[in-house]
Amino acid sequence: MKIQNAIILALWEKIRKNKFEVLLIVFLLLISGISHAYNMFHFPYYENDEGTYMSQAWSILRQGNLAPYTYWYDHAPAGWIFIAFWVTLTGGFFTFGTSIDSGRVFMLVLHLAITIFIYFIAKKLTGRKAPAILAILIFSLSPLAIYFQRRVLLDNIMTFWIFFTIAILLKNKLKLTYIFLSAITFGIAVLTKENAIFFLPAFLYLVYERVHKKQKAFALTSWLIVSGLVISLYFLYALLKNEFFSTGFLGNTSKHVSLMTAFKLQSTRGNTLPFWNTNSDFFINLIEWYKRDYFLVIVGPVATLIGLALSIKNKIFRFPTLLSLLFIVFLIRGGLIIDFYLIPLVPVFSLLIGLVFDYLFRLRNQKIGLIYIGSFSLAVIIPIMFLSGVRTEYFSKDETTPQRETIAWIKRNLDEKAVIVMDDSIYVDLHEPGLINNKVFTNAEWSWKVEKDPEIRDRKLKGDWRNIEYIALSHEILRQIRLFENDFLANAFNNSVKLADWSQNSSSHINLPMYISTNGDWMSIYKVVDKDEITLNETWKFYKKNFIKSYGQIVDQETGKTTSEGQSYAMLKAVWMGDKAAFDGVWAWTRDHMQHREGDKLLSWLWEKDKLVDASSASDADEDIALALIFASKRFDDNKYLVDAKALLADIWRKEVVQIAGNLVFVSGSDAKRGNGYLVNPSYLSPGSYRIFAEIDTLHNWERLADDSYYLLNKIGTEYSESGTYFPPNWILVNDPDGSISSAEKYITESSDLYGFDAFRIPFRIALDAEWFGGGQAIQYLEKIEPFYIREWNEGKIYAIYNLDGENKVDYESLSTYAGALSVFKFTDSKKASEVYNRIYLQKLKYDEGYWGDKNNYYDQNWAWFATALYTNNLPNLFQQ
């Protein structure tokens, strides 16, 4: 206690004796602190690197790791270890606002410390306060310092350690302890940001100059050894983790990150153009630095050159000039240069300018009176020039509210399990409870990792961008999308819709189609369209491109034929997709080329080689086109489609619905009469459609047709199918007048008595009735035919064609016929429905190309689409929406 009191009394006595200087330093700190702190929570916007270092500090404290993702040795970790210490010291990540706000307070503390170091160093070198005051004013009010040193960047922490090291080495009595201490602090600077190593020659010079000539060799050797030992901790860590050498070195073939690989990557980043090339990183950034602070960018290098000239005879200029020159060499060396790399040079330039101007002001020799007069003039002019460079936006503009609002919106509106792609600037705020509420978004991932990290892209997201649910779009993410070599994020963004936006007051030029943004003062929330909707959309695009010719003709590429069935499928898909242009085109072509029968509005079914080959109607196409027109009248809000639908319905009832033995039967077409009966394709029976027709055409009993269709299907199942399979054949003949059922093989082909590429559509049409109207008849029928599908699926596969006794006639499967099984399971066994969908349809889907299986198989492309849409609940009854 006595020792503590003695120290306090000694310190107080020193302050009392130097109270003017103490007041001066306090005044300078106020200027420096206010210029830095005022509006620092609002300007500049939260930058991606700030979030990266805050998230790495978070990972140290919450996960015990050096990074929340795989640590790949991009930087040594000392910087964010200090941030983690600061967070612990101040009570958490949200003590001052957002996590980055807390980090910016830490940057303010370091900025004030550097201010004190500058004062001490300038005074120590010259013995006067004037150059120290000038250096601090330049440093405190520099637009570059205000802009970059507010941000949570490793360069700011590194600069603190560099100036701390200088201050130690400039102490009056440089003891061996201080030499060791300065070596440690320099090593920490390098472990904070590797480019501190460029200052090494300057520090070796300073150590050499500051020690007694008899101790120079020992001091230099000791300093190098101690600093080297500190820096070597980084290499030792990599060695202990078995991550020092690259994969393949000394036979180690296991894939892993490595320090050597990171060094190689970091050293080859950026372009290799000479610094004077206008496209080099240095030149591009030089222009930006000049726009922000033309005084420092011009006067700093000039002061360096003057200092170089003066250092020939004046030792006080040698060390700061060497610091400046060494870091300028780093900046112009070629390779990657990021704008904030300039940070350490700002206080160095400020120090040099203060020293040079002080020296010039003190010249009294008449022979160089012009220099004195000119220098004095500059002392008046330069502050005016300098102050004009400080933009008022630094103290008034709000660039971070959009980022704060984004955090708040996500925390208030999204589920904690939501898969979110975001800028790293909001990582901690979404992963740490306490800000806004206690929600923790464990699936919020940094956009760079989503695009580049196999652990996230391939494992967590399974290599499928459709597994992304939301994008917190920012300036940084747009830039990454533009620069990345593949389209993972671009595909997600291009298939998303905007939910919330904070760009109204942005100064940025934003061009979303070109992925361009010029400033980070905005954000938006986008929802990636449901992955199943994306699948339907992309496969519909492919279908249009590959099967729709002329202005609306559907051509089966394998046969060259166009059928009314194909036209009807395209019209249904177009209306469900809301694609009016495609719908109108297909309907116009169909009407122009296939609706020319005499006496009715039915569609001729076959067009081939630029001519109508068969004018007979196919009732399934007629009913599906009528349904598509009814849906279109609602979807596109145009009654003309309904007029066409009503005309078609009247002729469907007149020519394709017959009464046999007291029951209404939907026959195969206008020419279905064969001998004493009528050809019926059971897969044309569509009770769900008939219930909709009943609301449009009240003159005919469509509801009865729906009920009688179930009667016929059940009759087929009990009387015609064999071995209790309840199986429907592709074709039957319904005899008149008794209504009995017989084989249609005489009139069709040998496949009429098989379950195959026609009959599988029966479960699909019944499933639509269940989907739209939930009728008991539909579910009961699906349950009756379910056992066969269960048996076959459990045995490993469902073949394309079967006898009616349930024996397979072929040994291959088909995407088309699996639609029947999926339709049944959707309403009877959700687990098996999921199995069929995932194992058959998702496995065969070519996401990037937009098709299933054989891209030229017109039938498969249609029925894979319908099956997917049914399973994913994307075939609504548009008439009742």
Q: How do residues 433-474 score in pLDDT, each as one tens digit?
A: 999 999 999 999 999 999 989 999 999 998 889 899 999 999
Confidence band for 265, pLDDT divided at 50, 70 and 90 = confident
In SS3 terms, 508-545 reads as CCEEHHHCEECCCCCEEEEEECCHHHHHHHHHHHHHHH
Q: Does 721 have pLDDT greater than 90?
A: no
Tell me which residue of 202, 389, 398 sits closest to 307, measured CA to CA: 202
**pLDDT tens, residue by residue, 282-309:** 999 999 999 999 889 999 999 999 999 9
Do β-strands 741-742 and 663-666 pair in parallel, antiparallel, or remain unpaired? unpaired
Confidence band for 731, pLDDT divided at 50, 70 and 90 = very high
| pLDDT value at residue 83 | 98
Confidence band for 483, pLDDT divided at 50, 70 and 90 = confident
The region of weakest confidence among 349-353, 369-373, 597-601 is 369-373
Mean pLDDT of 240-268: 81
What contacts 404, CB < 8 A, 6 or more positions away? Answer: 98
Longest alpha-carbon distance in the chain: 132
Confidence band for 21, pLDDT divided at 50, 70 and 90 = confident
Give the Cα separation of 650 and 273 in Å (integer): 76
Residue 677 token pair: 């009966």
Confidence band for 384, pLDDT divided at 50, 70 and 90 = very low
Query: Side chain identity at 290, as an amino acid letter?
Result: Y
DSSP structure string for 759-772:
TTHHHHHHHHHHHH
Q: What is the DSSP letter of 46?
A: P
Query: Side chain identity at 847, as an amino acid letter?
Result: Y
Number of H helices, E strands in the chain: 37, 20
Q: Are 473 and 450 in contact (CB under 8 A)?
A: no
Give the Cα separation of 751 and 758 in Å (integer): 10
Clarify whether 620 is annotated catalytic. yes
Confidence band for 376, pLDDT divided at 50, 70 and 90 = very low
Tell me which residue of 500, 435, 429 sits closest to 470, measured CA to CA: 500
Give the Cα separation of 766 and 779 in Å (integer): 8
Q: Are 88 and 61 in contact (CB under 8 A)?
A: yes
Pick the CATH number of 535-541+596-612+630-880 from 1.50.10.10, 3.40.50.300, 3.50.50.60, 1.10.3720.10: 1.50.10.10
- Report the half-sphere exposure of 801 (CA within 13 A, side-chain side): 12
| Cα 450 to Cα 456, 477, 489, 490, 781, distances in angstroms | 6, 11, 8, 11, 47
Give the Cα separation of 153 and 106 in Å (integer): 11
**pTM summary value:** 0.75
The region of weakest confidence among 86-100, 379-393, 489-503 is 379-393
Alpha helices in 802-849 (DSSP H): 818-828, 830-836, 843-844
Instruction: Give the 3-state secondary structure of residue 442.
Output: coil
Q: In degrees to the nearest 10, what's the CA dihedral of 316, 317, 322, 328? A: 150
Do β-strands 673-674 and 420-422 pair in parallel, antiparallel, or remain unpaired? unpaired
Confidence band for 726, pLDDT divided at 50, 70 and 90 = confident
| pLDDT value at residue 861 | 96
| pLDDT value at residue 370 | 45
Sign of CA dihedral 322, 323, 325, 326: positive
Query: Side chain identity at 794, as an amino acid letter?
Result: N
| Cα 233 to Cα 191, 237, 243, 670, distances in angstroms | 9, 6, 14, 88
Q: Does 311 have pLDDT greater than 50?
A: yes
DSSP structure string for 70-125:
----SS-SHHHHHHHHHHHHHTSTTSSSSHHHHHHHHHHHHHHHHHHHHHHHHHHH
% helix / strand / coil in the chain, to the nearest 5? Answer: 60, 10, 30
Q: Are 253 and 247 in contact (CB under 8 A)?
A: yes
- Percentage of the chain beyond pLDDT 70 is 94
Query: Side chain identity at 499, as an amino acid letter?
Result: L
Give the Cα separation of 498 and 91 in Å (integer): 37
| pLDDT value at residue 393 | 85
Q: How many CB atoms lie within 10 A of CB 516?
A: 14
Phi, psi of 803 (to 5 degrees): -70, 165
Q: Are 182 and 117 in contact (CB under 8 A)?
A: no
| Cα 436 to Cα 52, 87, 127, 404, 864, distances in angstroms | 21, 19, 52, 10, 45
**pLDDT tens, residue by residue, 744-786:** 999 987 789 999 999 999 999 999 999 999 878 999 999 999 9
| pLDDT value at residue 15 | 59
Phi, psi of 762 (to 5 degrees): -60, -50
Query: What count of residues does the chain have?
Result: 881
Which of 155, 293, 424, 620 is catalytic? The answer is 620
Q: Does 254 have pLDDT greater than 80?
A: no
Mean pLDDT of 344-371: 78
**pLDDT tens, residue by residue, 788-799:** 999 999 999 999
Give the Cα separation of 834 and 830 in Å (integer): 6
| pLDDT value at residue 212 | 84
Give the Cα separation of 146 and 347 in Å (integer): 12
CA 197 to the chain's CA centroid: 35
Q: Where are the beta strands (DSSP E) in 621-744?
A: 657-660, 663-666, 673-674, 677-680, 732-735, 741-742
Higher pLDDT, 360 or 626: 626
H-helix or E-strand spanning residue 289? helix 281-292
Residue 784 token pair: 């009756």
Give the Cα separation of 56 and 428 in Å (integer): 9
Our CA angle for 614, 617, 623, nearest 5°, is: 145
Tell me which residue of 454, 497, 437, 452 sits closest to 473, measured CA to CA: 497
Confidence band for 153, pLDDT divided at 50, 70 and 90 = very high
**pLDDT tens, residue by residue, 39-87:** 999 999 999 999 999 999 999 999 999 999 999 899 999 999 999 999 9
| pLDDT value at residue 2 | 57
516 Ramachandran zone, left/alpha/beta (phi>0; psi -120 to 50): beta
What contacts 165, CB < 8 A, 6 or more positions away? Answer: 182, 185, 186, 189, 203
Q: Does 487 have pLDDT greater than 90?
A: no
Q: Does 7 have pLDDT greater than 80?
A: no
Mean pLDDT of 556-574: 95
Cis peptide before 763 (omega within 30 of 0): no
Q: What is the DSSP letter of 147?
A: H
Q: Does 29 have pLDDT greater than 70?
A: yes
Confidence band for 11, pLDDT divided at 50, 70 and 90 = low
Confidence band for 258, pLDDT divided at 50, 70 and 90 = confident
Phi, psi of 871 (to 5 degrees): -65, -35
Whole-number CA gyration radius for the chain: 39
Q: Does 724 have pLDDT greater than 90?
A: no
Q: Does 388 have pLDDT greater than 90?
A: no
Sign of CA dihedral 128, 322, 350, 355: positive
Give the Cα separation of 556 and 608 in Å (integer): 10
Partnered with residue 421 across adjacent β-strands are 445, 471
Q: Are 657 and 669 in contact (CB under 8 A)?
A: no
Query: Side chain identity at 579, as an amino acid letter?
Result: D
Q: Which sequence spans correspond to the domains of the chain?
A: 19-396, 401-529, 535-541+596-612+630-880
| Residue reference for tokens 């708040």 | 408
- What is the distance in angstroms between the CA of the first residue and the CA of the last residue of the chain? 83
| Cα 56 to Cα 285, 431, 526, 564, distances in angstroms | 27, 12, 26, 62
Q: Does 372 have pLDDT greater than 50?
A: no
| pLDDT value at residue 379 | 54
Give the Cα separation of 185 and 260 in Å (integer): 25
H-helix or E-strand spanning residue 499? strand 496-502
Q: Are 149 and 156 in contact (CB under 8 A)?
A: yes
What contacts 262, CB < 8 A, 6 or more positions away? Answer: 72, 73, 74
Indicate the angle between helix axes 776-794 and 818-828, nearest 10 degrees: 120
Tell me which residue of 236, 328, 228, 235 sits closest to 286, measured CA to CA: 328
Confidence band for 273, pLDDT divided at 50, 70 and 90 = confident
